[in-house]
Amino acid sequence: MDNAIVATHPHTHETAVAAEHEHIVLPQHRHHFETQEQQREAATFGMWLFLLTEIMFFGGLFFAYLLYRNWYHDAFVVSSNQLSIPLGAANTAILISSGFFMALGVWAAEVKKQGLLVLFLVLTTFFGVAFLGIKAVEYHEKWEKHHIPGAHFDVSEFINPQAYGLKEKPLAPDMAQKTQVFFFLYFAMTGMHAFHMILGIGLLFWLTWRANRGEFSSGYVAPIENFGLYWHFVDIVWLFLFPLLYLINRHPGS
Amino acid sequence: MSEFHDPSNVINPEHADHHIITPVTYGIVFATLLVFTGITVGAAYVDLGIFNPVVALAIASFKAVVVILFFMHVKYQSNLIKLTVAAGFFTFLVLITMTMSDYISRAWGLW
């Protein structure tokens, strides 16, 4: 077989001293990244780009609220006063606690404490579920009062507030119909927020399971860190929803 | 950027630095957020006229910035990440301003 064509590889350092070029593939340092730091920054960058699209998504809802609150101010004032400040404030504190434990979870992953990481993820989940529970109580009250926009919406509390023991100014029937716009935005905004939390809680179960197997306590922090970014972003949305929906309309003159 | 192969980013070392925020810092941030939640609830019961929404939004923005800087680690990130975050919020403000000026300039509130 003298005429066989033999592919020849150039003899390089890589083939001569193979041991020096052995690939150790770590999840925090995959082969297409030059350093762990580069991989980590790339992941953080990607996560933030996703969060920017989320800002735009929620931003549209916030803009709608800004516009309609100015147009139908009287209707927005009385319908906002239907929401419970104690429940909203409790939920804010609960969500901040959830975010605090998430931040501690990232720390536990960084310092490679597996038990603490699992504990903090469980606490994050617990406070997230508590938030949704209070939200469900609030939604249920709106359901019972027929304050969900649509064919069965009931404006009587807004046309004749005195009959219901409310100190609000009565609204003319056409303006009273605009309370549906407030409740539509209330359900759209808190509903999309709650949907993000439900997704997040699903991811938390998955991450807790993996953390419990020790996947994030030997230097591979990125999934915990980037989920933390998502969870804190959802917190921030609520930090704006709470004052806008619950707080700023308490004084009809404003 | 460089003719050298530089896997450890000796030439551009900014993202090589990795900072671990301590639980003490997180605790201080947590307490700050709770205190300001209390303040914003209290302020809602005081009649400040048109400043009620202004104060509420200022406090919410402050809390959001604290969350972004510390819980989301942006204070300790590279300039690339900082610029990305800032660009996002800036673009959001541009969108709000342009959409609002469109609505303001035609048939305001006549629907």
Identify the residue with better confidence: A126 or B103. Answer: A126
A216: pLDDT strictly greater than 60: yes
pLDDT above 90: percentage of residues in chain B: 65
B111: pLDDT strictly greater than 90: no
Q: Check if A250 contacts B (Cβ < 8 Å).
A: yes
Angstrom distance (rounded) from CA A213 to CA A201: 19
* Residue B106 CB coordination number (10 Å): 7
A174: pLDDT strictly greater than 50: yes
Range B77-96 average pLDDT: 93
**Cβ distance of B71 and A44 shorter than 8 Å:** no
Residue B92 makes CB contacts below 8 A (sequence gap 6+) with A55, A56, A59
A7: pLDDT strictly greater than 60: no
Per CB-CB distance under 8 Å, the chain B contacts of A56 are 91-92, 95
Specify the pLDDT at position A254: 39
Q: Give the pLDDT band of residue B35 (cuts 50, 70, 90).
A: very high
Interchain CB contacts (distance < 8 Å): A and B: 151
A191: pLDDT strictly greater than 80: yes
Nearest to B63 among A106, A228, A239 (CB): A239
Per CB-CB distance under 8 Å, the chain B contacts of A232 are 67-68, 71-72
Specify the pLDDT at position A97: 97
A5: pLDDT strictly greater than 80: no
Highest mean pLDDT: which of A20-24, A69-73, A92-96, B78-82? A92-96
Q: Check if A181 contacts B (Cβ < 8 Å).
A: no
Q: How far is B1 from chain A (nearest CA, A)?
A: 15
Nearest residue in chain A measured CA to CA from B6: A34
Which strand (E) or helix (H) includes residue B83? helix B79-104
Identify the residue with better confidence: A36 or A121. Answer: A121
pLDDT above 70: percentage of residues in chain B: 83
Range A160-186 average pLDDT: 92
Specify the pLDDT at position A179: 95
pLDDT tens for each residue of B49-60? 888 999 999 999
Residue A53 makes CB contacts below 8 A (sequence gap 6+) with none
Tell me which residue of B33, B22, B16, B24 sits closest to B77, measured CA to CA.
Answer: B16
Distances, alpha carbon A24 to alpha carbons A21, A27, A34, A37, B8, in Å? 9, 10, 13, 16, 17
Range of weakest confidence among A77-86, A87-96, A160-169, B38-47: A160-169
Residue-range domain boundaries for chain A: 1-34, 40-247
Q: Give the pLDDT band of residue A250 (cuts 50, 70, 90).
A: confident
If phi > 0 it is left, if psi is from -120 to 50 it is alpha, else beta; for residue A114 that is alpha
Range B61-88 average pLDDT: 94
Distances, alpha carbon A96 to alpha carbons A8, A76, A123, in Å? 63, 27, 12
Angstrom distance (rounded) from CA A161 to CA A164: 5
- CATH of region A40-247, choose from 3.30.70.890, 3.40.50.300, 3.40.228.10, 1.20.120.80: 1.20.120.80
CA within 13 Å, CB half, B14: 8
Match 């707080």 to its residue by tokens.
A247
Q: How far is B88 from chain A (nearest CA, A)?
A: 5
Q: How far is A179 from chain B (nearest CA, A)?
A: 15
Q: Check if A32 contacts B (Cβ < 8 Å).
A: no
Range of weakest confidence among A103-107, A171-175, A248-252: A248-252
For residue A44 the two structure tokens come to: 């953080």
B74: pLDDT strictly greater than 50: yes
Specify the pLDDT at position A253: 44
**Cβ distance of B44 and A235 shorter than 8 Å:** no
Counting every residue written for chain A, the total comes to 254
Residue B110 makes CB contacts below 8 A (sequence gap 6+) with none
Per CB-CB distance under 8 Å, the chain B contacts of A44 are 77, 81
Q: Check if A110 contacts B (Cβ < 8 Å).
A: yes
**Cβ distance of B52 and A248 shorter than 8 Å:** yes
Identify the residue with better confidence: B15 or A218. Answer: A218
Per CB-CB distance under 8 Å, the chain B contacts of A104 are 23, 26
Nearest to B49 among A66, A99, A254 (CB): A254
Average pLDDT, rounded, for chain A? 91
Q: How far is B5 from chain A (nearest CA, A)?
A: 10
Angstrom distance (rounded) from CA A253 to CA A251: 5
